[in-house]
Homo-oligomer: A and B are copies of this chain.
Amino acid sequence: MAAATSSTSSLKAASCFSSFHSSATPASSSSPDQLAQSCFPRFTGLKVAFSSSSRTASSLLPTGSCSRKSLHSVDVTATAAVEAAPKTDVSLVEKSVNTIRFLAIDAVEKANSGHPGLPMGCAPMGHILYDEIMKYNPKNPCWFNRDRFVLSAGHGCMLQYALLHLAGYDSVQEGDLKQFRQWKSRTPGHPENFETPGIEVTTGPLGQGICNAVGLAFAEKHLAARFNKPDATIVDHYTYCIVGDGCNMEGVSNEACSLAGHWGLGKLICFYDDNHISIDGDTEIAFTETVEARFESLGWHVIWVRNGNTDYDAIRQAIADAKAVTDKPTLIKVTTTIGYGSPNKANSYSVHGSALGGKEVEATRQNLGWPYEPFVVPDDVKRHWSSHLKDGADLEAKWKADLASYEKKYPEEAAEFKKLISCELPSGWEKALPTYTPENPGDATRNLSQNSTPSERNVRFGVREHGMGAICNGIALHGSGLIPYCATFFVFTDYMRAAMRISALCEAGVIYVMTHDSIGLGEDGPTHQPIEHLASFRAMPSILMLRPADGNETAGSYKVAVENRKRPSVLALSRQKLPNLPGTSIEGVTKGGYIISDNSMDKKPDLILMGTGSELEIAFKAAEAVRKELGRTVRVVSLVCWELFEEQSADYKESVLPSGVSARVSVEAGATFGWEKYVGSKGKVVGIDHFGASAPAGILYKEFGFTVDNVIAKAKEVL
């Protein structure tokens, strides 16, 4: 299947281009030690980190074969990890961790909706990340060099809201916590980057977040390779992520994690919240693979924290070990108890997705010795976290100073870097777009597209459409001026539709370059021939579906796609060669629909023929024939992008499609679904509402009625 195997993506910087050096690093370059490590018995490859205190918590460990496996593996390797990191004030840490737990408990309780289990179990790793490990500036959530955090298990978002609140982000005040999951609040039911400063990406659909994290880490590595100098580092941050069992079951996460291993993303550190529970009950019912061994097979460094509920030092040690391995991403399996602290609901699915209930909340307060009212942050905890305001400001100031000295040594690179991360397009960039006349030789719009994406700027994704889309979302949301565009067959948008929908929702201006956009691909047959795909994206909110007809319209489509930085674009491009038509223009494409040909002398035409992409030529030729044979006035309209056309003024739309003209025919090699809007009840549609077939494209066009004669016949019916 050529389709997916041609999945590629390019990183296009607004101001200039670069290749991603690390993609050339094969796993085979890892040292013998690393090879040996990933050859060890299951778990032996893992550093097992726990402190002497861990036994006290062992009663909290879930039972069942997974944990039995774990115990077995510990027996194998217990000697491997004895010394723990230096102790800090455990009581205050404990208090902060419980603050996080109860902010989550209280918010879910007030909303009577949400997922308290994960925040209660992941509070320790959350506290350590935001209080001890991560670099960020609460007063400037967009500071370029901040560490990124992604909660891939997005349903546990109260964990992140509680942490942003403690860290001092203005976006999550006490009032916001009390509005959890309510209309117009800044604390929606899943993390949404476009609602809450401090949230990097939009998660919830499982598996997407870890892929976004791969994209964020990819962007950091790309920019570091491009701008850092031996004596000056200006791009240098980690990407942290928390994934759950659900994320690890989703195929999309395996695609992205395979690429993360291939790319050697050493600054990507993922915590696997190993709590053995999903909504249906114990993961044992459907999830008995060895996740650690799978990640090792993908080229990851894997560590296991046996007691993630109370063994803070083990979590600290694991992060230190993760940072020590710079050529592989790290998975830290952290065994936790979902709903930790709830005497009657911990370690059960009942705490996964619903409020504890007043009685159990009370019991949990008793159990964890928590005397405070709902939503209260104890003063000493507040005081402790308040230091992050100054620390964050200092971190950003230090980076700015570093950038200033970098600028002295490397003025050109510094200028390019600052231009890039400002996310502005270079003025006049669009002048570089090619234009075409009918005299220019025809070509496939997919090739007219390639003219502006030389292969040396490509990143290979292999046959992983879904991971590609989700990774591109992460690259776009890195916010550093990179414009990711990715390519595969149009029909295989079905594989990455979930990621594309999130592009649209989370305002990631990813450009989807989708080739082989109709039955025109020919012999590969119906499995590879899009039919309903144009309609399916026209129905999707906040995404631009463009189907250019020739060179000018392909250039115009890129202009639209590049300029829409908060809205993804889908370019449907033909496999077959197409002639350059008179009347097409870049400017026309920016209006979504426009007149390419008309002999009505500004009067209302007798007939309007509409088309997109490869069929616009058919409409154009049919119009010429109708004018000649029937002496009628005919207008030809290119409806290259319905969304943009709908955004034009009523006057403009009326000027293109006068309501007085009911004789209308559309022609498009796709489902007719939706065309009634433009042809009206008296019009005719030429399209295809069944699957295609395997045969040469020319034969398919003839057999399925995409011919000038058929359009003329339909025109005669409506005239």
Task: Enumerate chain A interface residues (CB-CB to B < 8 A).
Answer: 1-6, 8, 23, 26-28, 38-42, 44, 64-66, 68-69, 111, 113-114, 153-155, 181-185, 188-190, 192, 202-207, 245-247, 249-255, 258-259, 261-262, 278-280, 283-294, 296-299, 352-353, 460-464, 466-467, 491-492, 494-495, 497-498, 501-502, 504-505, 522-528, 531-532, 535-536, 538-542, 671, 673-674, 676-677, 680-681, 689-691, 693-696, 699-700, 703
> Are B189 and A69 in contact (CB-based, < 8 A)?
no
> Is A505 a contact partner of B691 (Cβ separation < 8 A)?
yes
New A-B contacts (19) at CB < 8 Å, excluding given A2-B353, A291-B297 = A1-B155, A1-B204, A27-B288, A39-B42, A183-B700, A190-B694, A192-B694, A204-B527, A205-B527, A245-B463, A250-B463, A285-B462, A492-B498, A494-B497, A504-B691, A535-B539, A535-B673, A540-B671, A542-B690
Closest Cβ–Cβ distance, residue A456 to chain B (whole Å): 13
Return A25 CB to nearest CB of chain B, in Å: 9
Nearest B residue to A277, CB-CB: B5
CB within 8 Å for A299 and B293 given contacts A255-B249, A280-B5, A538-B673: no
Can you name 10 A-B residue pairings with CB atoms under 8 Å? A1-B153, A1-B155, A4-B250, A42-B297, A205-B491, A258-B289, A283-B462, A286-B462, A536-B536, A674-B676
The 7 A-B pairs of least Cβ separation, nearest first, read A251-B251, A28-B65, A286-B462, A188-B694, A293-B297, A204-B527, A27-B288
Known contacts A42-B39, A280-B460, A299-B289; A689 and B2 CB within 8 A of each other = no
Question: How far, in angstroms, from A596 to B42 measured CA to CA in the complex?
Answer: 62
Given A494-B501, A497-B497, A498-B494, is A289 in contact with B280 using a C-beta cutoff of 8 Å?
A: no
Q: How far is the CA of A352 from the CA of B5 in the complex (A)?
A: 11
* Residues of B close to A203: CB separation below 8 A: 527
Bound-state CA distance A181–B183 (Å) is 55
Q: Please, how many angstroms separate the alpha-carbon atoms of A298 and B291 in the complex?
A: 8
Residues of B with C-beta under 8 A to A524:
155, 189-190, 204
A532 to B543, CA, bound (A): 12
Q: Is the CB of A671 within 8 A of B353?
A: no
Question: How many angstroms from the CA of A262 to the CA of B538 in the assembled complex?
Answer: 40
Chain B residue numbers with a CB within 8 Å of A202 are 527
Say how far A230's CB is from chain B's closest CB, in angstroms.
Answer: 28
Expressed in whole angstroms, the Cα–Cα distance for A315 and B392 within the complex equals 62
Q: Are B249 and A252 in contact (CB under 8 A)?
A: no
In the complex, what residue of chain B is closest to A211 when comparing beta carbons?
B251
Nearest residue in B to A284 (C-beta to C-beta)?
B26
Cα–Cα distance between A55 and B505 once the two chains are bound (Å): 56
State how many angstroms separate the Cβ of A279 from the closest Cβ of chain B.
4
Contact flag A246-B288 (CB < 8 Å), given A1-B155, A1-B206: no
For A3, list chain B residues within 8 Å (CB).
205-206
The answer to whether A278 touches B541 (Cβ under 8 A) is: no
Please, which residues of chain B bring their CB within 8 A of the CB of A693? 183-184, 188
Which B residues touch A700, using CB under 8 A? 183
**Shortest Cβ distance from residue A363 to the other chain B in the assembled complex, whole angstroms:** 24
Which residues of B lie under 8 Å from residue A261 when comparing CB positions?
288-289
**Is A189 a contact of B525 with CB atoms below 8 Å?**
yes
Bound-state Cα–Cα, A44 to B250, Å:
28
Q: Looking at the assembled complex, report how far the CB atom of A444 sits from the nearest CB atom of chain B, in whole angstroms.
A: 16
| Cβ 8 A contact of A536, one of B189, B505, B539 | B539
Are B183 and A703 in contact, with the CB atoms below 8 A?
yes
Q: Is the CB of B462 within 8 A of A287?
A: yes
Question: Are the C-beta atoms of A460 and B681 separated by less than 8 Å?
Answer: no
Q: Give every chain B residue within 8 A of A680 (Cβ-Cβ).
A: 681
The docked-state distance in angstroms from the alpha carbon of A8 to that of B280 is 9
Chain B residues near A41 (CB, 8 Å)? 39-41
- Residues on B with C-beta less than 8 A from A189 are 523-525, 528, 694
Task: Note all chain B residues with C-beta closer than 8 A to A495.
Answer: 205, 250, 252, 497-498
Given contacts A39-B41, A278-B5, is CB(A255)–CB(B262) below 8 Å?
no
Given the known interface contacts A206-B463, A703-B183, the answer about A539 and B542 at a Cβ–Cβ threshold of 8 Å is: no
Instruction: Report chain B residues within 8 Å CB of A674.
Output: 535, 539, 673-674, 676
- Please give me the residue from chain B that is nearest to A264 by CB atom: B288
Select from chain B the residue with minimum beta-carbon distance to A1.
B155
Does B280 contact A4, Cβ atoms closer than 8 Å? Answer: no
- Whether the Cβ atoms of A2 and B541 lie closer than 8 Å is no
Q: Do A1 and B205 have beta carbons less than 8 Å apart?
A: yes
CA distance A28 to B68 in the complex (A): 9
In this complex, what residue of B is CB-closest to A502? B527
Is there contact, CB below 8 Å, between B290 and A293?
A: no
Nearest Cβ distance between residue A327 and chain B, in whole angstroms?
13
User: In the complex, which residue of chain B has the Cβ closest to the Cβ of A113?
Assistant: B523
The residue on B at minimum CB distance from A543 is B532
